[in-house]
Amino acid sequence: MHEGSADPGLYDYVPYRGRGKVVWPGGKTVAVWVAPNLEYYEIDPPAHPKRRAWARPHPDVVGYSHRDHSNRVSHWRMADVMSRHGFPGSVSLSVALCQHHPEVVADGVARGWEFFSHGIYNTRYAYDMSEAQERAIIEDSIRTVREATGQTIRGWLAPALTHTPRTLDLIAEYGLDYTCDLYHDDQVQEVKVKRGRLASIPYSLEVNDHYGFFVYNMSGREYADTLIRQFERLAAEGERSGTVMCIPLHAYLIGQPHRIGPFEEALRHIAADGRAWMARAGDIIDHWRAQA
């Protein structure tokens, strides 16, 4: 990006109307990918000058234990529901989870899920890192995920959405194929980087379960209805050129007992519709590249 410029210079303006036709495998109109955030939050992380990790003095019991619910209970519940309806996961991974709770990571591997990096911990922020420090967390991510899963990470979602001006150039230099940090489109788009190439895949804040429940204050049923509306629209518009719908999740939110039932109904609806290509992030990037 252009550090210090008013426009970060990450992409060209490409109007939604009149784009080339993207077709997904089997003639599907919308690629649907589910992105569970498998995270580890530290109970007593070091202070960062630009952001507090917890709202309360450590231990923030509710903040910490709410997130711990993912690993003890709700990951397994959420993952079963996804598998039951044929949705693979593309995991936004706090890579230290490979050390703390390798059982959770192994479960994703056994289900055929793809892993990309979401930083080391979701309580360690990238703001103010030197280039060497940022390279260290990228290299740590590549090494850690490779050792735990055999996979080479292809994507990046910045830890707790914290960036530096050089993040996107660096991940492209390391050979990563996609970023989940840009929210400017409903289709895969090219990102301008110094070396190599990088695509932005639509992730979503708006239909992220965290936004659904704690920004828009929806009930579980309202959130499920939101996912269906999002899907119906993108599936219809995808007739012109294939769209992408991401369902970004946190097990400690969507996997709560009052929300998981309505969520399963939304997945059932999308899977039964016939217009969805239920895919992993890397597959979506590959098919888009082949047509770009």
Partner 1 sequence: MSLDPAYLEYPRRSHGYDHALYPWSALHERPPVKWPRGSVAVWICVSLEWFPITPTDMPFRAPGHMATAYPDLRHYTARDYGNRVGAWRFLDALEKAGVRASFATNAAVAERYPQLVRAVLDGGHEIIAHSTDMNGTIDSSLGETAERALIGDALARLFAATGVRPAGWLSIARSQSFRTADLLRQEGLTYCCDWVNDELPYGFSNGLVNLPLNHELSDRTIIAVQQQSADSWAQSMEDAFDWLAGEAARTGGGRMLPIHATPYIMGLPYRIGAFERLLERLSARAECWFARGDAIVESWQGQR
Q: Which residues bind partner 1 (CB under 8 A)?
A: 42-44, 46, 48-49, 56-59, 61-62, 64-69, 71-73, 76-77, 96, 99-104, 120-121, 124, 128-130, 132-133, 136-137, 213-214, 217-221, 256-262
- Cβ–Cβ < 8 Å for 138, 129: no
Nearer residue to partner 1 within complex by CB, 47 or 272: 47
Nearer residue to partner 1 within complex by CB, 22 or 160: 160
Q: Closest separation between CB of residue 101 and partner 1, Å?
A: 7
Element (H, E) at 115: strand 114-117
Nearer residue to partner 1 within complex by CB, 80 or 185: 80
- Cβ–Cβ < 8 Å for 110, 64: no
d(CA 274, CA 86): 12
Nearer residue to partner 1 within complex by CB, 200 or 256: 256
Q: Closest separation between CB of residue 33 and partner 1, Å?
A: 25
Residue 35's contacts (CB-CB under 8 Å, 6 or more residues apart) are 89, 90, 91, 92, 157, 180, 203, 246, 247, 248, 249, 281
Q: Closest separation between CB of residue 75 and partner 1, Å?
A: 8
d(CA 72, CA 93): 16
Nearer residue to partner 1 within complex by CB, 152 or 219: 219
Nearer residue to partner 1 within complex by CB, 34 or 78: 78
Q: Closest separation between CB of residue 134 and partner 1, Å?
A: 10
Nearer residue to partner 1 within complex by CB, 23 or 109: 109
Q: Closest separation between CB of residue 79 and partner 1, Å?
A: 11
d(CA 121, CA 125): 8
Tokens 């202070």 correspond to 47
Q: Closest separation between CB of residue 199 and partner 1, Å?
A: 28
- Cβ–Cβ < 8 Å for 33, 244: yes
d(CA 262, CA 213): 13
25 DSSP 8-state letter: G
**Residue closest to 263 by CA, chosen among 210, 225, 208:** 225
**Residue closest to 254 by CA, chosen among 215, 217, 224:** 224
Q: Closest separation between CB of residue 185 and partner 1, Å?
A: 30
